[in-house]
Structure 1
Amino acid sequence: MSTQHTEQERLRLAQRTIDALEDWRIAPELQIELMGLPENTRPRALKRYRDGMQALPDDPDVLERARHIIGINESLVRIHPMNHRAGFLWLNNRSKYFPEEPPLEVMCKEGLTGLHRVWANLDCTIDWD
């Protein structure tokens, strides 16, 4: 990301990102991976992010991943407004757009590129200039 984020903004991003990942029922170890947090991050550290006690690192990759996770979650909520848990099912099942593997596996295997692919599939305005 080209802009600097205040600690307050990074605190809010952390909470929203963890909320989305928990809505998706993602295991803590996988949350750490999807967020691009350092390898030595322990799962119990996620509670500090969720509770607003710790801001996301001021790392462009982590902040971009958080933005994508939040965007994916917002898109899933828009698509399934009456059933917010439907996102869990969509992320864990193959579809005509992801016939080889479920979107969650795409995000895990491809990192930020996979996050972008999944978000762009859900929201056609992502790549508009």
Structure 2
Amino acid sequence: MQQFSDTEMSALTQAVVHHLDEWKISAEAMLCVLGLPEEVRPRHMQQYRQGDKAFPQTEDIMHRIDHLVGIADALRTTFPFSSQMRVMWLQKPHRRFQKRSPLTVMLDEGTDGLMKVRIEVDCAYGYAINDALQAQAMKATA
């Protein structure tokens, strides 16, 4: 896992909170999606937003951040001219998620849900995962 300096982690924290703010989700949902420790309260999100505090660099949180940034980038590519469409896509029930919204999948399933949503919206990531799984299967049978 790559380690970031305090300055880099502060900037990354602010960028991730900015994405989550654009998605118009509550502070409680932000805490859940990020998998922050239980002692972090919704009111603390303002400290992260302003750069007064940075997310901890645990493996789980860094994986979640990677997926969130990937989802945000893919949504910007898919809907380059409309932030409203990005929010709608996240909140609208989706057939591939058994009529649940992508946001619900992320909240209910944690890191696995983030990966599922990222695979759905980011075809390049989906192909990379598929290729890695196929290579692993080939290696196991050899």
TM-score (norm 1): 0.92
Q: What is the CA distance between 1:64 and its match in structure 2?
A: 1.4
Secondary structure of 2:97's counterpart equals coil
Give the counterpart letter for 2:96 in structure 1: Y
Note if contact 1:34-1:111 (Cα within 8 Å) is conserved in structure 2: yes
With 28-37 and 50-59 compared, the bigger mean Cα shift is at 50-59
Give the counterpart letter for 2:19 in structure 1: A
Query: Residues 1-129 of structure 1: matches in 2 within 5 Å?
Result: 2-127=1-126, 128=128, 129=132
With 27-36 and 41-50 compared, the bigger mean Cα shift is at 41-50
Give the counterpart letter for 1:77 in structure 2: R
Note if contact 1:75-1:123 (Cα within 8 Å) is conserved in structure 2: yes
Give the counterpart letter for 1:72 in structure 2: I
Give the counterpart letter for 2:63 in structure 1: E
Secondary structure of 2:55's counterpart equals coil
Larger radius of gyration: 2
Q: What is the CA distance between 1:70 and its match in structure 2?
A: 1.5
Note if contact 1:92-1:102 (Cα within 8 Å) is conserved in structure 2: yes
Q: What is the CA distance between 1:99 and its match in structure 2?
A: 3.5
Note if contact 1:23-1:85 (Cα within 8 Å) is conserved in structure 2: no
Q: What residue ranges of structure 1 are gaps of 5+ in the alignment?
A: none
CA distance in 2, matches of 1:4, 1:77: 27
Note if contact 1:25-1:88 (Cα within 8 Å) is conserved in structure 2: yes
Structure 1 stretches of 4+ with a deviation exceeding 4 A read none
Give the counterpart letter for 1:46 in structure 2: M
CA distance in 1, matches of 2:121, 2:90: 11
Q: What is the CA distance between 1:96 and its match in structure 2?
A: 3.3
Q: How many residues align?
A: 128
Q: What is the CA distance between 1:53 and its match in structure 2?
A: 1.3
Q: What is the alpha-carbon root mean square deviation over aligned residues?
A: 1.3
What is the CA deviation profile of residues 91-120 of structure 1, one whole-angstrom value per residue up to 9, with x for unaligned ones?
111223334311111111110010011011
